[in-house]
Chains A and B, each alone.
Chain A
């Protein structure tokens, strides 16, 4: 099956700093989503972005499907951004494989 690698595995930031999270995948994909998992385990949708660029407030994402990677940008980080960020990709229309995640800690 498709391999999904996320980097870095762990990230510690001072509040207000910016960060870039990366997702590499081993095959062409038709689906790609970014999620934030909060401390209670809930997976929250950030972006559905199989290609192109999207922005939502302090967060933005870019997927370059031809080069098999996606980036999640977090600007002016806040303590509430802490948690684990997952990238999930799929080859067929409604199939998703998850990466191992990036654990983000934002320090006040």
Chain B
């Protein structure tokens, strides 16, 4: 069964350092999402791509976060510089199987970030 891939699974970094996360969605999925989940809360959308275009980045802290999906396939989320408050689980998801006409969303295993 096809899965969303993410790396790394765990990342420990010092504040003020740069950090990057990678996501490879399910093949054929046009929409890719990055979420941030703080312990005890539900996932919060950071950025949503439709193919290579950003369709929603209203909750992305643009002074330090950036995201790209250059060829409309895999994606990278970057934080520079990292702050203590960025410690969280970063989740990638994909949806919209064009051929099947399905909007069901699938999640990767996540990257657990700890900023010290």
Give residues in A with beta carbon < 8 Å to B: 4, 30-31, 33, 35, 40-43, 45, 48, 86, 88, 90, 93-101
Q: Name which of B15-23, B74-82, B103-111 contacts chain A.
A: B103-111
Question: Is B87 engaged at the interface, CB distance under 8 Å to the other chain?
Answer: no
Interface range for B: 20 to 34
A43 touching B91 in the complex, CB below 8 Å, given contacts A33-B104, A96-B105: yes
- Also in contact, A41 and B103, with CB within 8 A (given A94-B95, A99-B42): no
The answer to whether B89 and A41 touch across the interface, beta carbons within 8 angstroms, is: yes
Give the interface of B toward A (CB within 8 A).
Answer: 31, 33, 37, 41-45, 48, 50, 56, 89, 91, 93, 95-96, 102-107, 109-110, 112
Most buried by B among A30, A33, A90, A95: A95
